């Protein structure tokens, strides 16, 4: 029942981009893996909750990338739950290289969903207690992200079996992958992702067709984009995202 959990990740060759840098989606997968491991030790894993007709759902994610990491390197993840109040609990993450260089910070907000009603429940009423470390990795209040009204880019994707998680809906990392595909090539290839915000709004299921949309976010010094993922059939909004980019040489630890 330790409040802070540590886990080491070895960066695999299939987790890096053509420049040899670890992909943002790999970092998001590390967050998911470490959170799941710690939840299991705390007795509140997805499998633990499913025995009571409940499951975890991710509401918000904020990932800030501070430094470079490359193939075959090792990363140390530290994660801890920082709060739980009402229907939401926050979990924090710090990711460092083997030499202690900061690589990334992240914070996530989770809710617990009743599988029968598909509605969130009060966490203190339905989950056992576990220790909290009341320190935020990123002091984010999770303000509502702006809605994308007029996209400049739009790509279509079909939800495949490989996109699904244990809840049989699209895994949270897949939304980020879809959104990143819509970034203009000159930015995706010439810059590094510095900051990613995701607001999850509805679930997508196997076989559905989704649209990933993107437009430039005005008023930013460096390239920034507003993203939206919607279900093609009924136009339901599935996720909102914001990505901010910087020149790779400005990243710490290059």
For residue 254, the model assigns a pLDDT of: 42
For residue 117, the model assigns a pLDDT of: 95
Tokens standing for residue 243: 């990505």
Using CB atoms within 10 Å of the CB of residue 66, give its burial: 0 to 12 exposed, 13 to 18 middle, 19+ buried: middle
Taking the domains of the chain in order of start, what are their residue ranges?
A: 1-143, 145-254
Integer CA distances (angstroms), 156 to 37, 168, 230, in order? 33, 21, 10
For residue 252, the model assigns a pLDDT of: 57
Following DSSP, what letter does each residue of 145-192 receive, concatenated?
Answer: PPPP-S-SEEEEEE--GGGB-TTSSB-HHHHHHHHHHTS-HHHHHHSE
For residue 1, the model assigns a pLDDT of: 77
Alpha carbon distance 117, 53 (integer Å)? 10
Q: Residues 58, 172: contact at Cβ < 8 Å? A: yes
Is the fold of 1-143 the same as that of 145-254?
yes
For residue 86, the model assigns a pLDDT of: 95
Alpha carbon distance 99, 135 (integer Å)? 24
Alpha carbon distance 122, 108 (integer Å)? 18
Give the other-Cβ count within 10 Å of 157's Cβ. 19
For residue 131, the model assigns a pLDDT of: 96
Which parts of the chain sit beneath pLDDT 50? 254
CATH of domain 145-254: 3.10.129.10
CATH of domain 1-143: 3.10.129.10
Integer CA distances (angstroms), 131 to 10, 134, 177, in order? 28, 10, 33
């Amino acid at each position: 029942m330790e409040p802070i959990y540590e886990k080491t990740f070895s960066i695999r060759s299939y987790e890096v981009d053509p420049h040899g840098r670890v992909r943002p989606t790999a970092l998001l997968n590390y967050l998911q893996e470490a959170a799941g491991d710690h939840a299991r030790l705390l007795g509140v894993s997805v499998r633990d909750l499913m025995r009571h007709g409940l499951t975890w759902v991710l509401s918000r994610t904020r990932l800030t990338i501070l430094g470079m990491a490359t193939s075959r390197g090792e990363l140390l993840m530290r994660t801890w739950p920082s709060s739980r109040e009402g229907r939401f609990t926050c979990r924090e993450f710090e990711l460092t290289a083997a030499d202690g260089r900061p690589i990334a910070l992240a914070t996530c907000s989770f809710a617990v969903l009743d599988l029968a009603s598909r509605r969130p429940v009060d966490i203190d009423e339905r989950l056992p207690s576990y220790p909290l470390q009341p320190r935020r990795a990123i002091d984010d209040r999770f303000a509502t992200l702006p809605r994308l009204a007029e996209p400049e880019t739009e790509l279509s994707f079909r939800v495949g079996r490989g996109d699904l998680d244990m809840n049989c809906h699209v895994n949270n990392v897949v939304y980020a992958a879809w959104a990143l595909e819509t970034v203009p090539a000159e930015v995706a290839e010439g810059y590094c992702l510095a900051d990613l915000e995701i607001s999850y709004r509805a679930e997508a299921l196997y076989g559905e067709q989704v649209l990933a949309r993107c437009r430039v976010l005005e008023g930013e010094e460096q390239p920034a984009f507003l993203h939206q993922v919607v279900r093609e059939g009924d136009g339901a909004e599935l996720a909102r995202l914001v990505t901010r980019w910087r020149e790779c040489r400005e990243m710490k630890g290059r």
